[in-house]
Structure formats: structure tokens, C-alpha cells
Amino acid sequence: MPTTVSRPISVSLPPVGVYFAESVHAAQFEMQWRRDPFHKCLYVLDGRTSLEQAVNRRSTPLGPASLALVPAELEHRLCDLTPSTLLLLCIATEVFDRDRETAEVWRALSPADVAVLHLDKVWQRQIESLWRQAMVEQIGKRPGWQVATRTLASRILLYLLRLPAPSQFSDVGTRVHFVARELEASFFEPWSLDRAAALAGISRRAFSSHFRRLTGQSFLQRLNELRLEHAAKLLGSGHHSITGAAFSCGFQDLSHFYRSFRNRFGCSPKSWSGRPQV
């Protein structure tokens, strides 16, 4: 069982400037007004709380899958309505000083004040997965964990920036279109029909039907096409081995890659890599 706390957990940012944590609130949790010298993302995993701002006395209710972005030095506090469990991401202001591109993403999400996003269950799985992965890296401290946690923090912010508008969450067609875009951006990952359907929040059969209407292909046909097209580009550049190109595109079986490539382009990967490029 996680340890419950009656006061906010103490946060001391490591030199990497990024810190992930989980805070499980006891029934008697209390938080005084505070100003933090770092930016925060507060994600409600369970329970209900309210985020209050001192500057305007505004109170914003936060339930499960709500995420609040709190700028550094903003006076605020949390008032639990029921015992809550929060995931916390703290980012030092120096991180944004060094990384202007990520700073721009933060400003787009939270221009000057607290910003609150209410994530549909379709989208919350990805956020929670990234958060858990970052906490594993932070605790395990494997080689390169600092780079991993900093990168995962940036990925979370970028993912939030690219979320569809809240009004679109209930539209199945929009959700399937979102998955299709995600597939184009990450075809090299271990995608499956189950994963795609779960991300869209519908059954495999319904997803397959909507996906085919949208793209004119089955999910696996589209996935295979994206991988093969990219493999052809890598091989055509002359800077990648056949094995490297195959695995870079998500193929785990070289024999399957060879067969698929020949079926798609009418020649072997070796013949393709030796072709003059236009």
C-alpha cells in the first residue's frame, strides 16, 4: 500500500531539473497557501480536489484524469473534496531557460495563469504510461536516466499540446483520426490492433470499420505501408544497412521484412539500396 500523506510531499529538484512523484492523500490532507520556485503539472489519478489561486480566489474542481499546469511562483493550494491521489511533475525554471522549444510548448499550454485540462479516458492511458515510465527511470537510475526523465517530461507536455479539443472527445470519427495520426508519427513502435482500438476507446471491430473508411486500408495494411515506405527512404539514402533499416521501422523479423518489401516494391531491399535515387 502506498504511504498516505496529510501534508504536501517535500520536493527537492535534482540537478537534471525534472522530478516525478506520486502523492496519496490521507482523509485529513491539508495544504497551506504556497509558492513553488518551479513549474508543476498536477494530474489527478483518483479522488476529487480543488485548486485554489490566491491572486483571484478562483477555485477549480479537479476530478480523475484532470490535469492542472501551475506556473512557478503562483500562490495556490489544494483542498481535497475526497481523498485524492495525484501524479506530480515538477520542472525547474532553468530547464526552460536552456530549452526554448520546450518553454514555448509550456507557454502554449499555460500562457500566464493556471491551465486545466480534462482528459477523456481514451487519452489518459498515454499520459499515465509516460508518467509511470519516468518514475521507473527516476527510481532505477539506470545509465542515462537523467536524459530519459527530461525527455519524458517534454513528451508529456508535447502530448498535451497535441490533444484534440475537448469538444471533440465524444466523436468516434475524430478519435480514429487521432489514432491514424499517432500511427503516422510512431509506426516504428510495437503497434497492434488492440492498442489502436483501446486508444480510440472502441471495439476492435468498430475501430477496423472506421479506420478502413478513413484510410481506405486495414489497420495492418496501413501500418505495414508506413514502415515499408520509411525503410525504402532509409535504404535509398545509402546510410543504412538492411538490418538497421528494418528494425528502425519496427520490423522484428528480417524474413518478414524481406517478403513484405519485395511484395511492395517488386525487388529485394538489397537491390533497392543499390538503385540510383531521383
pLDDT for residue 161: 87
Average pLDDT over residues 89-105: 94
CATH of domain 4-163: 2.60.120.280
Q: Rounded to an integer, what distance in angstroms lies between the CA atom of residue 139 and that of residue 171?
A: 39
Most confident of 54-58, 71-75, 193-197, 240-244: 71-75
Higher pLDDT residue, 3 or 139? Answer: 139
Q: How many CB atoms lie within 10 A of CB 224?
A: 20
Average pLDDT over residues 144-155: 94
CATH of domain 219-273: 1.10.10.60
Residue 212 is placed in which grid cell? 478502413
Tell me the pLDDT band of 199, cut-offs 50, 70 and 90.
confident
Torsion of CA 144, 150, 154, 159, to 10 degrees: 60
pLDDT for residue 119: 83
Q: Rounded to an integer, what distance in angstroms lies between the CA atom of residue 20 and that of residue 132?
A: 9
pLDDT at 111 over 80: no
pLDDT digits (tens, 9 = 90+) for 99-109: 999 999 999 99
Domain ranges of the chain: 4-163, 219-273
Higher pLDDT residue, 136 or 277? Answer: 136
3-class SS at 199? helix
pLDDT at 166 over 80: no
pLDDT for residue 136: 92
pLDDT digits (tens, 9 = 90+) for 217-233: 999 999 999 999 999 99
pLDDT at 189 over 90: no
Say how many Å lie between the first and final Cα of the chain, rounded.
Answer: 61
Percent of the chain clearing pLDDT 70 (strictly above)? 94
Say how many CA atoms lie within 13 Å of 212 toward its Cβ: 9
pLDDT digits (tens, 9 = 90+) for 49-78: 999 999 888 899 999 999 999 999 999 999
Average pLDDT over residues 30-36: 94
